[in-house]
Amino acid sequence: MNILVFGKDGQLGRAFKEQLKHSSFQLANNIRFVGRDECDLSNPSQVTDLLNTFQPELILSAAAYTAVDKAESESEKAFSINATAPGLMARYAAQHGAALLHFSTDYVFDGSKQDAYTENDKVNPLGVYGKSKEAGEHAISTAFANSRAGQYAILRTSWVYGDGSNFIKTILRLAKERPALRVINDQYGVPTSAAWLAEVGIHLVLDDGQLRPFASGIYHAVPGGETNWYGLACLAVQTALDAGQHLQASPAAISPIPASEYLLPAPRPMNSRLSTNKLKIEVERLGLVSKLPHWNTLWDEQVCAYVKQLGEN
Ligand SMILES: NC(=O)c1ccc[n+]([C@@H]2O[C@H](COP(=O)([O-])OP(=O)(O)OC[C@H]3O[C@@H](n4cnc5c(N)ncnc54)[C@H](OP(=O)(O)O)[C@@H]3O)[C@@H](O)[C@H]2O)c1
């Protein structure tokens, strides 16, 4: 099978590489990991040419324009990468009977709901990044709506961390450099490990190395539990201290502040909680629970393991 992975140098792209590294799988399949240097997603003809020459049966779409604040002044670029390019991938997959696994974000919501968002809730992105990701979702579902071939899953996730830049690494760096920190405590969501997300995504689309028939659509994919940025920062710092890392700031030196005291160019949803009932039902229907060793681990267990691992590297 030809498998095309976009975003090889991103957090999720690297997690896919780790997931797919088993030599038997590598030998049995033709896997190509591409980065911006090989295929610039802001250039539609490069995307189309690559799809037509490589002819993937499975596309793992892990690349995205993720600079949330910069997107406010680079709207055209964000839309070409986050909406036009996934639309081209979807059109190719729908025309050629391929599968597309794509990723979207909690930022498609405005955060005004009190409970966790379901896949049926109305989207209303607040900023350009969220709008461009929502347009990508729309482009994909439209391409498949007009076709009987192929299948797609869009996994909406939140607060991703892995091998790359992320909030946890920033907080640990700041806790090393400064004796005190201020962190927002009224924006809620679920930190999601890129490794966990890649494992769930791969098992959803592949069964023993073959394409698996699954129900196409949007799914929310985050681990169990919820927190706010302050809670996440305290846990990361405490875990690093427990693991023997030398930091200037302890959790006691982290002050909770409202988002209104930390203004950024792009507005963020205050509530990013995503209900995962739909994904749970599909995972159970496909008999995947026993194949996903980390399926039921909560966000805080995953963060602790990640911070310990960072300290060992
Ligand atoms: N990070 C989060 O907190 C978060 C939250 C919710 C949803 N998501 C979604 O999850 C997915 C994975 O995110 P991530 O955290 O892995 O993102 P990431 O670490 O920022 O990686 C994004 C990748 O996309 C590549 N890319 C950007 N512009 C490109 C272009 N013009 N052509 C080709 N490649 C380009 C980047 O390439 P370079 O390495 O060359 O820059 C980078 O490797 C994305 O769909 C994102 O929207 C992320």
**Per-residue pLDDT tens digits of the chain, which is 313 residues long:** 999 999 999 999 999 999 998 867 777 789 999 999 999 999 999 999 999 999 999 999 999 999 999 999 999 999 999 999 999 999 999 999 999 999 999 999 999 999 999 999 999 999 999 999 999 999 999 999 978 889 999 999 999 999 999 999 999 999 999 999 999 999 999 999 999 999 999 999 999 888 999 999 999 999 999 999 999 999 999 999 999 999 999 999 999 999 999 999 999 999 999 999 999 999 999 999 999 888 999 999 999 999 999 988 7
271 lines ligand 1 (CB under 6 A): no
Catalytic hit among 129, 152, 161, 219:
129
Of 278, 248, 115, residue with least CA distance to 175: 248
Backbone angles phi, psi at 269, to 5 degrees: -65, 140
Residue nearest to atom 21 of ligand 1 (CA): 10
* Catalytic residue flag (residue 129): yes
Domain residue extents for the chain:
2-165+191-225+274-295
Q: What is the pLDDT of residue 76?
A: 98
Q: Which atom of ligand 1 is nearest to the CA of 13?
A: 16
Tokens of 201: 């995504």
Instruction: Find out whether the beta carbon of 9 lies less than 6 Å from any atom of ligand 1.
Output: yes
Superfamily for 2-165+191-225+274-295? NAD(P)-binding Rossmann-like Domain (3.40.50.720)
What is the number of the ligand 1 atom nearest to the C-alpha of 61?
A: 45
Give 71 Cα–ligand 1 centroid separation in angstroms: 13
